[in-house]
Copies of this chain bind each other. A is one copy, B any other.
């Protein structure tokens, strides 16, 4: 008997999850989101306290922007950054929550099985 395929359907949600989880996998990028949670900031304002160069910040902001977590806008001579819509973060949170519940359900069943076996 062959194993049932388990691959995720490829689609917009799958690509959003890829980009969001990847964007969240770096402490500098999570730091940028924390900072923008306190209000918008220019690229230079993000760079100054981070210990990163302006180019380093640009790279990280670009990855956050691809995931929809950050939006940027050219205002005069500077680029202002702010948090994007919360939907991307919501979808990543829903994926984790659904799996955490399934996971804990499994562990519960396993514990009950061990209890009964005693």
Contact = CB atoms under 8 A, between A and B. Distances in A.
Nearest to A83: B103
Nearest to A101: B86
Interface in A63-118: 83, 86, 89-90, 92-93, 95-97, 99-100, 102-104, 106-107
Contacts of A34: 6, 8, 99
Interface in A1-58: 2-8, 10, 14, 17-19, 21-22, 24-28, 30-35, 37-38, 41, 45, 48-51
**For the complex formed by this chain, how many copies does it contain in all?**
2
Secondary structure call for the A interface: helix
A2 B50 contact: no
Q: Which 3 A-B pairs have the closest CB atoms?
A: A6-B35, A21-B25, A22-B25
19 contacts: A2-B48, A3-B41, A5-B49, A5-B50, A6-B32, A6-B49, A7-B49, A7-B51, A8-B34, A14-B27, A19-B25, A21-B21, A22-B25, A25-B25, A30-B95, A37-B102, A83-B106, A93-B93, A93-B97
